[in-house]
Amino acid sequence: MPGENLSRDEAQERAALLSVDGYEVFLDLRSAVGDSQEGDTTPRTFRSVTTIRFRCAEPGAASFADLIAPSVTALSLNGKDLDPSEVFDGSRIALEDLREENELVVDAQCAYSRTGEGMHRFVDPEDGEVYLYTQYEPADSRRVFANFEQPDLKAPFRFSAQAPEGWTVWSNGAGEQADGVWKFAETKPISTYITAVVAGPYHYVTDSYERVFEDGTRLEIPLGAMCRKGLAKHFDADDVFLVTKQGLDFFHDHFDFPYPFGKYDQAFVPEYNLGAMENPGCVTFREEFIFRGKVTQASYERRANVILHEMAHMWFGDLVTMRWWDDLWLKESFADFMGSFSMVEATRFTNGWITFANNRKAWAYRADQLPSTHPVTADIRDLEDAKLNFDGITYAKGASVLKQLVAYAGRDAFLEGARRYFKRHAYGNTRLGDLLSVLEETSGRDLAAWSRAWLETAGVNSLTPQVTLSAEGRITELAVVQEAAESHPTLRPHRVAVGLYRRSDAGDLVRYARAEVDVEGPRTAVAELVGAEAPELVLVNDDDLTYCKIRFDETSLATLREHLGGLTDPLARALCWSALWNLTRDALMPARDFIGLVLRFAGRETDIGVLQMLHAWAGTAHTHYAAPGWREEGGRLLAEGALRELRIAEPGSQHQLTWARFFASVASSEADLQLLQGLLDGTAKIDGLEVDQELRWAFQLPLAVHGVADERALAAELSRDDTASGKRHQIRCLAARPSAAVKAQAWASVVESDALSNALVEATIAGFAQPSQRGLVAEYAPKYFAAIERVWAERSIQIGMDVVRGLFPHLQDSAGTVAAADAWLSAHESAPPALRRLVLESRDDLSRALRAQECDAA
């Protein structure tokens, strides 16, 4: 549609011309319930009436407002009625002859969404109740009300809404109902993309947070948390509130700027595309953070991290916002870093940096080696670019760089810089230089060179130790060698710790020496470690101070092959696992060797999050990186090892649950499938293993994949769990069955139809291509390349991303598929850059897999 993809140049021109004084938005949501309007083919709509008061720096100039809606009923600009057919093209409203002060009134019919974008409408299959919520980032508020959809045109908002009887409505400000209409307090100046509306018969729990500051002022924040009524019995709101209060204490202690947005509601909503969204006063989360069955501590840690990540955004992103999406890192990198920082220091999850090192950085390392890698401060040309920039670079690499900056500049200087930044730019918009200037003030360091190296160039460096020993077994030189890829040759300054490890008398691998050093250039000597006893393991980047790929010298790698399980420090162990995984991804270690290390040592892993990551990596290594001729044996070894660990795990422990899930993911033999079936029907038992509903679905999936669970069995399972969650599980299992007809139906339901909601599209894609069904889905590789440009043009960007990423023929791992991707890229040079990026990334993943397979077969 013309005008949907707002460009940076257009946004800059409009920001130079316009400033916004305020919005008033009324939404009539009563149409959310009842029969569909005018038959199933017409989108269900709601009335949206927006009044915008704004100024123009050049009276007489022209501009435009944003709105994506099926129709506009009435339009007026400065009291003059406009003909919608003449000024509204479906995504923009042309504004001519502007005055110095202006008022635009737009009365529109906006469409409810089934894709998680705009005003999402969900019907709970369990009880028929309807639930609404909004999701806008980066630019979908224009699907709900007319506005100027760019982050630097901030304004106060005053929302009101009329809802069906019995509903409650929430927004950014505190609300009250009068005469059937919910009216909300005016917000502080905020960007359009962080406004929010949540409406429906949600289960709502309340609490409050109080804080008395040193000057005697008192702050009281009303707290709320909500979910669908069907999830209320699972909702542990007390733990959500506990983490919330701990986070508010932490940020008040360190930011010296009281939470500025009044109340603090947190809504756990269905069919959510993201982990969460930082709408001030009304944060939204995916409802999967409400756990329907037994989960490990890693799941609670992940939820706490997300709660604190979104809370950090109240300052980094909501109070102070980037001018354009180029500087998205100013909010996401900081929130990602502060989420872990606050979690470790303020909650029970004190090992959060282990998860950060092992999990978040893995995301960053992958993204930073793709052909689409970019500097942390990115070049974002338009909104499609912006949508794809919510990636491992912006989040995890940016957070890793900030962790390195804290080591480089000092914790106190970093936090004092944040405090000055908030006070100087409150309710405003900033760019990179605004932050660096305050950090230079507080640290006394020239950050221009640091910024060029870390924020303005792409790529990840490798750090390798070189050790020279004397005849007496002492270190005569220990140097750190820094390398970079040819495509991104920048060598960066690193503040690193180098740890030396040897086995103790008890056989444990322990650190006996450590030195911190500033690594500069291609080779840096660590003088402090000269004279130390010969190490069995040298761990560069011990304590995870910098962002790099760790490599090992031959002695260290040999030690890990034999004694990795004896490494007693959990962070050091996590760093070694991550480094070994990077060696495997880079085709420097055979996949079967990595799998062998997992089978040998993962059973001794104490950190449950690391263990879950090892299972994911081992699965990827087997599916994509192992030589085809070894896959059958590798699968057997993984299943045998998983079952062995499952049987010896402590009954009822989180380790037992984790091994049970992993066993289900690799089970394929008749005996394995019989055991899973027995655990489902009660004829088999493993002491302490509670097979709750979520675990039942995990066991049903491999049974469906291998043709044991048919449509009738899956329908019976759904009857046990006739909920929204159960429906998603069933859809995934149905699509996973080994049948040509099943695959054809699944493909058509996603690629040829838009009848499914975003959650069911995701479930269908997840079930479609199974590793054991390579031959069955081979025919869809050419169909994929024939369809994706049309899908991208016809569907929303979220669904387009899901289809293009999720249905790429990764399992057709041959040079022919790479050639097909190259041919598509060559023939579609004019395709939207965001679409080309997705194909290019998947093509790169496949090429990496083929290189790894060659290594494994050698």
Q: What is the 3-state secondary structure (H, E, C) of 201-269?
A: CCEEEEEEEEEECCCCCEEEEEEEEEECHHHHHHCCHHHHHHHHHHHHHHHHHHHCCCCCCCCEEEEEE
Dihedral angle sign, alpha carbons of residues 241, 247, 248, 253: positive
pLDDT tens-digit map of 683-712: 999 999 999 999 999 999 999 999 999 999
User: In angstroms, what is the C-alpha Rg of the chain?
Assistant: 28
Distance, CA of 496 to CA of 404 (rounded, Å): 9
Q: What is the pLDDT of residue 542?
A: 97
Q: Which two tokens stand for residue 181?
A: 């209409």
Distance, CA of 497 to CA of 402 (rounded, Å): 17
Helix (DSSP H) and strand (DSSP E) numbers for the chain: 28, 28
Burial of 381 (0-12, 13-18, 19+ CB in 10 A): middle
Q: Which two tokens stand for residue 255?
A: 């930011």
Distance, CA of 416 to CA of 441 (rounded, Å): 9
Q: What is the pLDDT of residue 1?
A: 43
Distance, CA of 200 to CA of 165 (rounded, Å): 10
Q: What is the pLDDT of residue 38?
A: 47
Identity of residue 853: Q
Could you tell me if 127 and 229 are in contact, meaning their C-beta atoms sit under 8 angstroms apart? yes
Among 293, 270, 287, 297, CA closest to 694: 293
Strands 523-525, 475-483: pairing kind: antiparallel
Burial of 297 (0-12, 13-18, 19+ CB in 10 A): middle
Contacts of 708 (CB under 8 A, 6+ apart): 673, 677
Distance, CA of 96 to CA of 44 (rounded, Å): 31
Tell me which H or E stretch contains 49. Answer: strand 45-56
Tell me which H or E stretch contains 476. Answer: strand 475-483
Q: What is the pLDDT of residue 339?
A: 96
Q: In this structure, how many other beta carbons lie within 10 angstroms of the beta carbon of residue 280?
A: 26
Q: What is the pLDDT of residue 43?
A: 87
Identity of residue 715: A
Could you tell me if 209 and 225 are in contact, meaning their C-beta atoms sit under 8 angstroms apart? no
Distance, CA of 657 to CA of 642 (rounded, Å): 11
Side-chain-side CA neighbours of 62 within 13 Å: the count stands at 6
Q: What is the pLDDT of residue 37?
A: 52
Q: What is the pLDDT of residue 40?
A: 56
**Residue ranges, the chain, pLDDT below 50:** 1-2, 38-39
Strand order in the sheet with 264-269: 203-212, 218-227, 264-269, 282-286, 276-277
Query: Tokens 């809370």 — which residue?
Result: 311
| Phi, psi dihedrals of residue 575, rounded to the nearest 5° | -65, -40
pTM of the full structure: 0.95
Which is the catalytic residue, given 310, 332, 384, 841?
Answer: 310
Largest Cα–Cα distance in the chain? 92
Is 287 marked active-site?
no
Query: Tokens 């010296």 — which residue?
Result: 256
For helices 237-255 and 411-425, angle between their N-to-C axes, nearest 10 degrees: 90
The partner residues of 132 in beta bridges, in order of sequence, read 121, 199
Q: Which two tokens stand for residue 434?
A: 């605004």
Identity of residue 796: S
Which domains can be identified in the chain, with CATH numbers?
1-109+135-191 (2.60.40.1730), 321-454 (1.10.390.10), 461-546+548-568 (2.60.40.1840)
Distance, CA of 367 to CA of 838 (rounded, Å): 12
Mapping DSSP to helix (H, G, I), strand (E, B) and coil, where does residue 473 land?
coil
Identity of residue 737: R
Q: What is the 3-state secondary structure (H, E, C) of 676-722?
A: HHHHHHCCCCCCCCCCCHHHHHHHHHHHHHCCCCCHHHHHHHHHHCC
Distance, CA of 49 to CA of 41 (rounded, Å): 24
Q: What is the pLDDT of residue 215?
A: 86
Distance, CA of 378 to CA of 393 (rounded, Å): 9
Q: What is the pLDDT of residue 211?
A: 93
Q: Which two tokens stand for residue 41?
A: 């083919």
| Phi, psi dihedrals of residue 28, rounded to the nearest 5° | -100, 105
Distance, CA of 162 to CA of 159 (rounded, Å): 11
Q: What share of the chain is helix, strand, coil (3-state, %, to 5)?
A: 45, 20, 30
Name the H helices within 282-368. 297-313, 329-346, 352-355, 361-367
The DSSP-derived string for 747-778 is: HIIIII---S-HHHHHHHHHHH--GGGTTTTT
Tell me which H or E stretch contains 435. Answer: helix 432-443
Nearest 10 degrees: CA dihedral of 646, 649, 653, 655? Answer: -60
Q: What is the pLDDT of residue 608?
A: 96
Could you tell me if 546 and 332 are in contact, meaning their C-beta atoms sit under 8 angstroms apart? no
- What Å distances lie between residue 555 and 465, 551, 562, 746, CA to CA? 11, 12, 11, 51
CA 704 vs. chain centroid, Å, equals 29
List the end-to-end C-alpha distance of the chain, in Å, as a whole number: 51
Distance, CA of 593 to CA of 220 (rounded, Å): 56
For helices 432-443 and 398-409, angle between their N-to-C axes, nearest 10 degrees: 20
Among 75, 140, 81, 132, CA closest to 105: 75
